[in-house]
Amino acid sequence: MEAPPVTVMPVTGGTINMMEYLLQGSVLDQSLESLLHRLRGLCDNMEPESFADHELVYLLKGQQGNPFMLRARRSLLHPTAPWHLRYLGQPEVGDKSRHALVRNCVDVAASHSLPDFLNEMGFRMDHEFVAKGQVFRKGAMKVVVSKLLRVLASGNTENTEPMSLSYLVELSILAPAGQDTMSEDMRSFAEQLKPLVHLEKIDPKRLM
């Protein structure tokens, strides 16, 4: 089973129940500085936020159907900050008028005993990774540029290796349901990042 597109939104703040509008792409390591320079010019006049997060993906397997997936994430830069528990719904990709992938997003802060709680509930960790990068903002839009790192020894975030020779780039907005006009703003912003990066509405079925 393939997971929905990985999102690496850093654990800053928390929303209760919103819709996530998302475009994704990637940029090769050697083109990273050019992209960051472009983002500094296009985004709000503030320093980008740096982050380093450890994410664990948990599955709860039922009698039938696909397993239920939850994502637990903690900040490596701020060890005392709360964990975050995130649920991502099935993407709504059928509507051609939408320029972005849309899915339900539930994000809540949690205590440091979150992994133990999930294990007690019957969840089992499927995989884990570390994401390191920067967050840029343009109004309600958020651009996350991150390097994904494979954890070589379970739980040891010091022992990692890059998953690829590229950086994941994500443009997203969290908003109440029905704010579909936001996807047009995202499309316009994404056009300004070409040809450095091509942000697309990724259909997870294409990854299977």
Domain ranges of the chain: 18-202
* E strand map for the chain: 18-28, 49-60, 68-75, 83-88, 101-110, 124-138, 141-151, 160-162, 166-175
Q: Is the pLDDT of residue 92 over 80?
A: no
**pLDDT confidence of residue 54:** 98
Task: For the full predicted model, state whether its pTM sits above 0.85.
Answer: yes
The CATH class of 18-202 is: mainly beta
On the question of pLDDT at 2 being above 50, the answer is: no
Q: Which residues 6+ apart lie within 8 Å of 54 measured at CB?
A: 73, 74, 76, 128, 129, 130, 151, 157
CA 48 from chain centre, in angstroms, equals 16
Predicted local distance difference test score (pLDDT) of residue 205: 55
Q: H helices within 99-155, ranges in order?
A: 114-120
Q: Contact at 8 Å (CB) between 13 and 84?
A: no
The answer, yes or no, to whether residue 15 has pLDDT greater than 60, is no
Residue 125, judged by CB atoms within 10 A of its CB (0-12, 13-18, 19+), counts as: middle
| Amino acid, res. 66 | N
Task: Lowest mean pLDDT of 33-47, 52-66, 120-134, 187-201, name the range.
Answer: 52-66
Rounded to an integer, the average pLDDT of 5-15 is: 51
pLDDT tens figures, 29-83:
999 999 999 999 999 988 999 999 999 999 998 777 788 999 999 999 999 999 9
